[in-house]
């Protein structure tokens, strides 16, 4: 750490409170500089944190954290918060194995009262804490900071509606930077912009206050009522007021002279109900390269602070996300019924590529996965071919819609499930661990998992013609293995796997991109005189029952390998074998899945080592079964 004037002595918010208000501007500048230096070394989320530096300083200066609860939404903007709350000396371990999480995390610090790596949870959790305070007769403040992108989600409105009716004591800070991961979309963004343009209201309000202050204090009560009248007359009322919040703002979130007194007033207010403070900030504030970038350096790799140049990947291998997007574009050029849908992740899902070619056929619905799925279902009823490109971890948020609105009606919505499996630095909150299980239980659903980029293209080609039921294709974050991509005419037969190599005694059923590890395991086993059969099953649903049963009857051992949780592909195979009486004939069966734990952040390779799904662990599992089997034979003899 550099020899900062103030930051070097700040370890906790209690240290921060020793400074004068006039010193906080310098501290904010130092905090911003430190954050830029840190993320240049670690990579991670930069723009959002730069935008809330002054807000973070002001909140910890005014409120008594951790006794007062400060909840962030989303947690990727909390690097400045972490530096000020006892984690300064570990900040360069961000997003690394055994290091600090890139999000808020309850187990990491008492200053993180609620974990937040998915958006739009802050108002709900804050209300829960506020109601708990009421029940416990506590007077602690509860503050939720939510972004303008996160507040577009339905859950935030559900929470605001509940909070306004409850009259709970809580403060919501709307951090409006007019720039979530992608440009905020929808009526909410327009509403906020219209609110910001109403400067006449704020100038009139200040004028009115000046007039009132010149008269006796006996007018103060009437002044409050008059201000409410003025607020209503000039702005026509606000959505937040209608929901039961006392609305204040918008305020310059980088102006400490404005922030501090307003936060103090909110803290000390006797207002009976929730307060909404609308703060206007600039994403990427204070770092010119971030300010100029289209995404304001939302997520970055390591970079040169002086030039802003990010370290580029040295690989020439194709990224799965781009393979999906480019293949879909080729089909859409021939088929006008194909449309793309994303929930505020156009670049993350590759839908930005689709949007450039077909701007009228790509729909970014904002952070609203539930709506995205049912919206896709509506399109499907009218003969369109919707592709809902959503991260596995975010699709979890729309499971009821997948079941009720899509599966039950057998609507041909096509789900492109990005970030399937373990994802590395974002950790357990972003891992795509459960989609195999939660989709393969649904009747009449086609669930595919690509083992490489070539297979992904073929599966997309196949999905184009699945018009009688929903389908899903899962694929991981990262790059393929360097295969030549097939044409858009090449398809796979629904419910049919492929034999990679045929051997004896041992059969490995692989689902997804662990196939390469299965091949490597086979090489290790070959050195011990064991030649296993390897099958890329391709489909969780429908299962290739004929192929699986054929090899189950001709092999002594069968093992399934998948990048998903317990209850997925292996469970379906086990159920099939049990129903067909295969176990009665002596087949030894094992299922290798992600373990029944949440695996912490690290490199994907190390995470899969922890999961027990690398080549050595696969071969060891097989050898252990063989050794046990041979031992049983010796005992019997």
How far is 169 from 156, CA to CA, in rounded Å? 17
Q: What b-and-e string marks burial along 192-228, b requiring 16 or more CB atoms within 10 Å of the CB?
A: beebeeeeebeebeeeeeeebeeeeeeeeeebeebee
CA distances from 117 to 104, 148, 429, 637 (A): 7, 16, 6, 58
Nearest to 449 by CA among 470, 471, 466: 471
Cβ-proximal residues to 311 (8 Å cutoff; 6+ apart), any chain: 301, 302, 303
Q: Where are the alpha helices (DSSP H) in 337-452?
A: 346-349, 351-357, 369-381, 392-395, 399-401, 435-440
Tokens representing residue 132 in the block? 């708990």
Q: Would you say 446 and 543 are in contact if contact means Cβ atoms under 8 Å apart?
A: no
How far is 544 from 497, CA to CA, in rounded Å? 6
Q: Does 34 qualify as catalytic in the annotation?
A: no
3-state secondary structure string, 474-541? ECCCCECCCCCCCCCCCCCCCCCCEEEECCCCEEEEEECCCHHHHHHHHHHHHCCCCCCEEEECCEEE
CA distances from 167 to 113, 246, 273, 628 (A): 22, 11, 4, 65
Cβ-proximal residues to 442 (8 Å cutoff; 6+ apart), any chain: 402, 403, 407, 470
Tokens representing residue 86 in the block? 């006892």
From the list 88, 105, 282, 283, the catalytic residue is 283
Tokens representing residue 580 in the block? 């067909």
Helix, strand, coil percentages in the chain from 3-state DSSP, rounded to 5: 45, 15, 40
Instruction: Report the interhelical angle of 453-463 vs 320-332 (nearest 10°).
Output: 30
Bridge-based pairing of strands 142-147 and 69-73 is: parallel
From the list 54, 369, 517, 562, the catalytic residue is 369
From the list 397, 469, 514, 541, the catalytic residue is 397
Q: Does 477 qualify as catalytic in the annotation?
A: no
Q: Does 369 qualify as catalytic in the annotation?
A: yes
Nearest to 31 by CA among 60, 69, 4, 66: 4
Bridge-based pairing of strands 533-536 and 539-541 is: unpaired
How far is 315 from 251, CA to CA, in rounded Å? 45
How far is 563 from 436, CA to CA, in rounded Å? 9
CA dihedral of 85, 87, 93, 97, whole degrees rounded to 10: -90
How far is 637 from 633, CA to CA, in rounded Å? 6
The residues carrying an active-site annotation are: 283, 369, 397
């Amino acid at each position: 750490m550099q020899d900062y004037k103030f930051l070097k002595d700040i370890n906790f918010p209690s240290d921060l409170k020793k400074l004068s208000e006039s010193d906080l501007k310098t501290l904010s500048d130092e905090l911003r500089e430190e954050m830029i230096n840190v993320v240049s070394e670690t990579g991670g989320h930069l723009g959002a944190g730069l935008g809330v530096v002054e807000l973070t300083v002001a909140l910890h200066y005014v409120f008594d954290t951790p006794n007062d609860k400060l909840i962030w939404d989303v947690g990727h903007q909390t690097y400045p918060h972490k530096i000020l709350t006892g984690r300064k000396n570990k900040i360069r371990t961000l997003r690394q194995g055994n290091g600090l999480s890139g999000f808020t995390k309850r187990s990491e610090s008492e200053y993180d009262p609620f974990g937040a790596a998915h958006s739009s949870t802050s108002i709900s959790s804050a209300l829960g804490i506020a109601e708990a305070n009421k029940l416990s007769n506590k007077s602690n403040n509860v503050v939720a900071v939510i972004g303008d992108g996160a507040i577009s989600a339905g859950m935030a409105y559900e929470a605001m509606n509940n909070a306004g009716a409850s009259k709970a004591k809580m403060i919501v800070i709307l951090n409006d930077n007019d720039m979530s991961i992608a440009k905020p979309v929808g009526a909410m963004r327009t509403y906020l912009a219209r609110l910001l343009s109403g400067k006449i209201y704020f100038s009139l309000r200040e004028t009115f206050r000046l007039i009132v202050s010149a008269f006796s204090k006996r007018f103060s009560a009437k002044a409050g009522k008059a201000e409410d009248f003025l607020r209503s007359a000039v702005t026509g009322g606000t959505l937040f007021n209608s929901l039961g919040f006392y609305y204040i703002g918008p305020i310059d979130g980088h102006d400490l002279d404005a922030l501090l007194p307003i936060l103090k007033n909110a803290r000390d207010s006797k207002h009976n109900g929730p307060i909404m403070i609308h703060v206007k900030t600039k994403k990427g504030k204070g770092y010119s390269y971030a300010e100029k970038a289209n995404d304001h350096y939302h997520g970055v790799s390591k970079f040169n602070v002086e030039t802003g140049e990010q370290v580029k990947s040295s690989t020439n291998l194709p990224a799965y996300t781009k393979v999906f997007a480019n293949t879909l574009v080729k089909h859409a050029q021939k088929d006008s019924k194909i449309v793309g849908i994303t929930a505020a992740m156009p670049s993350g899902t590759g839908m930005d590529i689709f949007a450039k070619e077909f701007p009228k056929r790509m729909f970014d619905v904002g952070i609203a996965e539930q709506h995205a799925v049912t919206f896709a279902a509506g399109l499907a009823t009218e003969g369109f071919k919707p592709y809902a490109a959503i991260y596995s971890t975010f699709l979890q948020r729309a499971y009821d819609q997948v079941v009720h609105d899509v599966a039950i009606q057998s609507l041909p919505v096509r789900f492109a499930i990005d970030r399937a499996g373990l994802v590395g630095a974002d950790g357990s909150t972003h891992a795509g661990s459960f989609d195999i299980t939660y989709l393969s239980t649904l009747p009449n659903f086609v669930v595919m998992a690509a083992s490489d980029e070539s297979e992904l293209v073929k599966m997309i080609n196949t999905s184009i013609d699945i018009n009688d039921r929903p389908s899903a294709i899962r694929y991981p974050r990262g790059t393929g293995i360097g295969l030549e991509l097939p044409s858009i005419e090449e398809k796979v037969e629904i419910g049919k796997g492929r034999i990679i190599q045929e051997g004896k005694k041992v059969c490995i059923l692989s689902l997804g991109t662990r196939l390469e590890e299965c091949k490597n395991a086979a090489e290790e086993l070959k050195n011990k005189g064991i030649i296993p059969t390897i099958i890329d099953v391709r489909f969780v649903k429908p299962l290739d029952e004929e192929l699986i049963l054929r090899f189950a009857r001709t092999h002594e051992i069968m093992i399934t390998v998948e990048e998903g949780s317990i209850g997925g592909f292996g469970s379906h195979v086990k159920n099939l074998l049990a129903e067909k009486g295969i176990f009665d004939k002596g087949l030894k069966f094992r299922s290798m899945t992600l373990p029944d734990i949440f695996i912490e952040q690290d490199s994907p390779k190390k995470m899969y080592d922890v999961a027990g799904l690398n080549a050595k662990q696969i071969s060891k599992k097989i050898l252990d079964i063989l050794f046990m089997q041979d031992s049983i034979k010796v005992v019997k003899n």
